[in-house]
Amino acid sequence: MKNKLLTMLELQDAMNARVNPAWREANNEWYRAIWTECAEMLDHYGWKWWKHQQPDLDQVRLELVDIIHFAMSDYLLQDKDNQAVASRILDEIAKPGSIRDIRLAIESMAQSTIANRSMHFSGFANIMQLIDMDFDQLYRLYVGKNVLNFFRQDHGYKDGSYIKVWQGREDNEHLAELLSQLDSESASFKDQVYQGLQARYTD
């Protein structure tokens, strides 16, 4: 688990540097990105009592993946030692919150993040438990999304030339299909994801 988290931290640092080589000096408000993603996650789960809503757990999981991008970036700013950051995150995940209503758990994490201008992973782990998401699932989805973000950057995302819909489907759909076919335990997992996206994009 720690090795997977170290891989995630390395990928996050690389992605941040790809977007802005001076990302550590940019003073981005990572916590603000986190609590706004919490609001999106709540919408995907559903909270409106005046209309029928079906929880979309796949989208809830993807929002957690987006959130961990920002939370790891914040922790990487606080400590440049990836081993120490990984240990800190794992310690916090090992002590999940105990809120049983997912809506309240999401609000609690958002509230704590705003108050502290940083996210604590105990609340994050609480939500993972409530949707039966284990760390291996988080890792697989995180690496997939990270690789897709790199792929987008490599193919013109920043200048607007990237094509998001291929063969009638969005790139996220192609990614989900690829992830279901690949072994996330493989040492070349992230390279296989990139190669799979490349093969589909150029078809």
Residue pLDDT, tens place only, 158-198: 888 998 888 888 888 888 889 889 988 888 898 999 999 99
Are the CB atoms for 73 and 10 separated by under 8 Å?
no
CA nearest 14: which of 4, 3, 24? Answer: 24
Task: Tell me what pLDDT residue 203 has.
Answer: 58
More confident residue, 11 or 158: 11
- For the stretch 87-131, pLDDT in tens is 999 999 999 999 999 999 999 999 999 999 999 999 999 999 999
Task: Tell me what pLDDT residue 75 has.
Answer: 97
Are the CB atoms for 139 and 8 separated by under 8 Å?
yes
Task: Tell me what pLDDT residue 143 has.
Answer: 93
Pairing of strands 165-166, 169-170: antiparallel
Neighbours of 190 (CB within 10 A): 18
Share of the chain above pLDDT 70, in %: 99
Phi-psi region of 122 (alpha: psi -120 to 50; beta: other; left: phi over 0): alpha
Are the CB atoms for 62 and 19 separated by under 8 Å?
no
Share of the chain above pLDDT 90, in %: 74
Q: What are the domain boundaries of the chain?
A: 1-133, 135-203
Q: 29 is written with which tokens?
A: 């408000």
* Average pLDDT of span 21-37: 96
Task: Read off the pTM.
Answer: 0.87
Domain 1-133: homologous superfamily in CATH: Type II deoxyuridine triphosphatase (1.10.4010.10)
Q: How far is CA 30 from CA 8, 11, 115, in A?
A: 17, 17, 13
